[in-house]
Amino acid sequence: MSLEADGSALYTIQALWTQAREQLDVTTVLLNTAAYAILRMELARTLAGDGGAGHAGERAARMLDLSGPTPDFTAISTGLGVPATRVSTAGELDQALRRAYAEPGPHLIEAIVPPVVSPPSGTAW
> Angle 66-90-7 (CA atoms, 0-180°, nearest 5)?
20
Walk along the chain (125 residues) and give the pLDDT tens digit of each residue.
999 988 888 889 999 999 999 999 999 999 998 766 666 666 666 665 555 555 666 776 666 666 778 889 999 999 999 999 999 999 999 999 999 999 999 999 999 988 655 555 544 44
113 CB contacts (<8 Å, ≥6 apart)? 31, 32, 33
